[in-house]
Structure 1
Amino acid sequence: MTDKQATDDKCPTDPWQSPIFQPLMHEAGIAAQTLCIGLTTLRKANYMQPEKYYGGFFSYTIGLERAMKLTILLDSLVEQGKFPTDQQLKKAYGHDLGKLLAAVQTIRANIDPGEFRWKLPYPEIIDDAVFFLAEFAKTTRYYNLDVLSGKAPSLDPVARWFQLVGKPLLAKRPARQTLRNAARASALEELMGDKMLIRSMSEDGIPVSSVEEASIAEHNSEYVAKEGTFLCTALARYVIEVLRHRGLAARGAGHAIPAFGDFFALFNNDDALLKNRKSFSIT
């Protein structure tokens, strides 16, 4: 966008006549939709349906990338009166979610902290989670195709997620809950063990061949789905709060900017509500 175009976009009598209003609105809608599809799918993921991990991360990382790039675009509009060019965005960030998040954090650091409510979740895990998401967005989402086409394989993304995020989350699970799950699994094995044949594999590649192992894998899947999805939701909430702030600042400067809060209202909720959601549909 040129300086003249940025000036022409100021103070429109009808925002819909501005050349930036509809692209911003559509981009916000795409970001919100893909985030919610990804989170809903991740919440349903389990060791018996690993495809939900792949599908969930695929949609979620697309939505997160778009939300962060929107934030960077709006900050540039506020601070410099124009958007960065396509080449500038590609050169600086590409599809690297780690670099994009660092840019959003820099924007946030230059604003009065009193303007913000939300923080990044799980400070001891979040860096590894972001590393995984950035890796997935750039390369490992093609893992299965890479294996089939003979490329040197990396670690399966589902196993990688459990290695970096799932196991640390399970380590934080209350001991009484772990003991209760183990007792239930043992009771099921005693009741059904000789009546069922099970051949499966947990997310981290451990064989599941008994009723007891299946019960434990099921409980572990559910716990990681709940806590891992919350981690991803809270990360998106952190980014969206900065996006919403920059949108309001741009509107205050007279630019034709949609009300981004309308697209991402679901994310402006506290931890308990987000953690207990099983669907993130915005329709």
Structure 2
Amino acid sequence: MYYNPIFSAFLEEAQFTKEILAIGVTQLYKANYATKGIYYQSFICLSTGIERLEKLCLILDYYIQNSGALPSEKYIRSYGHKIPELYGACRDIANNRKIQFHFQYKMDKNIHYSIIDVLGNFAESSGRYSNVNILLGNENKKFDCIEQWFLTVDMPLYNKHVSKKRKTGIEYRATVIGSVLNQYSVTRFITEDNKELIDAVEGSRRTGIWEAVAPYRQLYMLQIIRYLTELLIELGYKAMSNKAMSNQSADIPHFGEIFGLFYNDNSYFRNRKTWDKP
């Protein structure tokens, strides 16, 4: 056995990407108006992981197209941190190479794309450093990704998937809790959409919304990850089986072994909350 730097680079990049995505998906379930810092933990892991996963797909596609040659740094850097554009490039690769996916992936043009847009905006400095930009007087460079997530992901999920009965229960519970707690307590929070939360009724309502949509957040995010990991796995197989690159086949790890956690159906996704532990 000999040391292959290309194999090791592919392997270690894939391992890092898998781990950081697992952390991001786990934290995504926990984030709400009372723990807004967890949104940032999740977004930084997910945006980094998705971008690197997309770029792995682009690198491997180039590798196949050019008989084992690797792209230049300029080729990959030309995409910057533009996650939506990278995602579009990955979709093109899948279509052009007629990839047959085991898991059928139907994009919700509102919600899935909104998730990608939020992560894309967070990957840019106006999203990652939105609070710092305010402190430095650069409010025109501020982009609030938490607010965007709440308005374009959470609320559409709530309206699409949460039953009328559960919504009624959330409102009833909020009214009861508010009637008791507002007499004896003071509530002060800033909501995801930057509104002042000053009573227990709204606090309970927001908690109910979060509890209802958290599993669907993970499901939709995992569907995006599964699509990209399945694309990477299939590209890996194509590279290994390409006779024109028989001498380079040892460059490619079995990506399915690395990303197997995400190679599962929706029912498995729905029944698991924690992804950063075996």
TM-score (norm 1): 0.89
Shift in Å, 1:120:
4.5
2:220 corresponds to? 231
In structure 1, how many angstroms separate the alpha carbons of the residues matched to 2:270 and 2:193?
23
In structure 2, how many angstroms separate the alpha carbons of the residues matched to 1:72 and 1:238?
14
AA in 2 matched with 1:247: G
Question: Does 2:165 align with 1:170?
Answer: no
- What's the secondary structure of 1:23's corresponding residue? helix
AA in 2 matched with 1:165: V
Percentage of matched positions with identical amino acids: 29
**Once the two structures are superposed, what CA deviation does each residue of 1:180-228 show, in whole Å capped at 9, x if it has no partner?**
1111111222333312211112211232222221110111122333222
In structure 2, how many angstroms separate the alpha carbons of the residues matched to 1:170 and 1:206?
19
* Alignment check: 8 A CA contact 1:97 1:130 kept: yes
1:44 corresponds to? 30
In structure 1, how many angstroms separate the alpha carbons of the residues matched to 2:19 and 2:255?
13
* Alignment check: 8 A CA contact 2:121 2:145 kept: no
In structure 1, runs of 5+ residues without a counterpart are 1-13
In structure 2, how many angstroms separate the alpha carbons of the residues matched to 1:168 and 1:62?
25
Question: Does 2:80 align with 1:85?
Answer: no
Q: 1:66 aligns with which of 52, 56, 59?
A: 52
Q: 1:150 aligns with which of 131, 137, 146?
A: 137
**Once the two structures are superposed, what CA deviation does each residue of 1:85-128 show, in whole Å capped at 9, x if it has no partner?**
1111112x111111111111011102335444231543332222
- What's the secondary structure of 2:182's corresponding residue? helix
Superposition pairs of residues 1-283 of structure 1, within 5 angstroms: 14=1, 16-81=2-67, 82-91=69-78, 93-112=79-98, 114-139=100-125, 140-153=127-140, 154-172=142-160, 173-253=162-242, 254=246, 255-256=249-250, 257-283=252-278
In structure 1, how many angstroms separate the alpha carbons of the residues matched to 2:234 and 2:34?
41
* Alignment check: 8 A CA contact 2:122 2:128 kept: yes
Cα distance 1:282–1:108, how it changes in 2: closer, same or farther (>3 A)?
A: farther
In structure 2, how many angstroms separate the alpha carbons of the residues matched to 1:282 and 1:67?
20
In structure 1, how many angstroms separate the alpha carbons of the residues matched to 2:147 and 2:8?
40
Shift in Å, 1:282:
4.5
In structure 2, how many angstroms separate the alpha carbons of the residues matched to 1:114 and 1:30?
26
Cα distance 1:120–1:70, how it changes in 2: closer, same or farther (>3 A)?
A: farther
Mean CA deviation greater in 164-173 or 34-43: 164-173
- What's the secondary structure of 1:26's corresponding residue? helix
In structure 2, how many angstroms separate the alpha carbons of the residues matched to 1:31 and 1:88?
20
Shift in Å, 1:49:
0.6
* Alignment check: 8 A CA contact 1:121 1:231 kept: no
Shift in Å, 1:55:
1.1
1:11 corresponds to? none
In structure 1, how many angstroms separate the alpha carbons of the residues matched to 2:178 and 2:5?
64
- What's the secondary structure of 2:5's corresponding residue? coil
AA in 2 matched with 1:157: C
**Once the two structures are superposed, what CA deviation does each residue of 1:53-73 show, in whole Å capped at 9, x if it has no partner?**
011000111111111111111
Cα distance 1:75–1:155, how it changes in 2: closer, same or farther (>3 A)?
A: closer
AA in 1 matched with 2:119: L
The count of aligned residue pairs is 268
RMSD of equivalent CA atoms: 1.7
* Alignment check: 8 A CA contact 1:120 1:126 kept: no
